[in-house]
Amino acid sequence: MPAGDASRTWFSEMIETLRQEWKPEIEWEQVIALRDRLDAMLKEIRFSRGIRPPTMWCPVCNQHTQQAAPSVSVRSLIFALGRFGIVAAAEVKSLEKRWTKHRKENGLDRNGKPNLPVSTGSNLQEPHRHSHDPTQRYHFNFSETSSSKREKACRWMEDLPSALASVVRR
């Protein structure tokens, strides 16, 4: 596997498809369908080339674990249009604002699908579960950790919303 492929989202085949299929007058339903095709293409490329997601160090379970595999969201598709010179920066900004408005008005998730109710993560029957998938809620069992590990995990959890918010704002 070439260096960097573990965390790569945009492969040359996908960029070419984006260039060929993007049209200035495209409707949101078509953008979502294009996103679906590009995401499926990404999954197929990663599977066929044996590319596994990058690993990370989890401060809670003290293990190296795999991160969630990259995916193509509507917003990442919009940013790719500018990154690869398919549309001008001003158009990217306009598309992003229109997408945000369309998404809120229609109750859509990041992939253009209807939003499902979010779990509060208060299921007390699963105290040992925690997730390395950034789309999942984090669950920690602090009763089995030392105080220094607990403090690190608490600081990590406190920083998590601001870290995610800064990623979303980009």
- One DSSP character per residue, 123-170 reads -TT-TT-----TTSPP---GGGS-HHHHHHHHHHHHHHHHHHHHHHH-
Same domain, 68 and 109: yes
Do 86 and 149 reside in the same domain of the chain?
Answer: no
| Structure-block tokens of residue 61 | 């379970």
Q: How far apart are CA 110 and CA 103, in angstroms?
A: 8
Q: What are 39-64's pLDDT values in tens digits?
A: 999 999 988 988 888 788 888 888 88
170 or 83, which is more confident?
A: 83
Q: Which amino acid is at 4?
A: G
- Whether residue 101 is contained in a domain is answered as yes
Q: Under a CB-based contact definition with an 8 Å cutoff, are residues 121 and 100 in contact?
A: no
**Domain assignment present for 129:** no
What is the Cα–Cα distance from 80 to 14, expressed in whole angstroms?
10
If asked whether residues 159 and 108 sit together in one domain, one would say no
Check whether residue 38 and residue 108 sit in a common domain.
yes
What does the mean pLDDT of the chain come to?
A: 77
At residue 138, does pLDDT exceed 60? no
| Rounded Cα distance, 19 and 38, in Å | 12
Are 22 and 101 in the same domain?
Answer: yes
Q: What is the arithmetic mean of pLDDT over 117-134?
A: 51
Average pLDDT of span 11-28 = 94
Would you say residue 111 has pLDDT above 90? Answer: yes
Amino acid in position 170: R
Q: Are residues 148 and 71 in the same domain?
A: no
Residues 92 and 54 both lie in one domain: yes
Domain that holds residue 105: 5-115
Q: Is residue 135 in some structural domain?
A: no
Residue 78 and residue 151 share a domain: no
Q: Which two tokens stand for residue 129?
A: 């579960």
What's the pLDDT score for residue 7? 66
**Is 130 inside any structural domain?**
no
Q: Out of 24-28, 50-54, 112-116, 155-159, which region has the weakest mean confidence (pLDDT)?
A: 155-159
Kindly state whether residues 101 and 34 are assigned to the same domain: yes
Four-residue CA torsion sign, 92, 17, 33, 116: negative
**Claim: this prediction has a pTM higher than 0.75:** no
Which residue from 100, 80, 87 is spatially nearest to 168, judged by alpha carbons? 100
- 155 and 82 together in one domain: no
Number of domains in the chain: 2
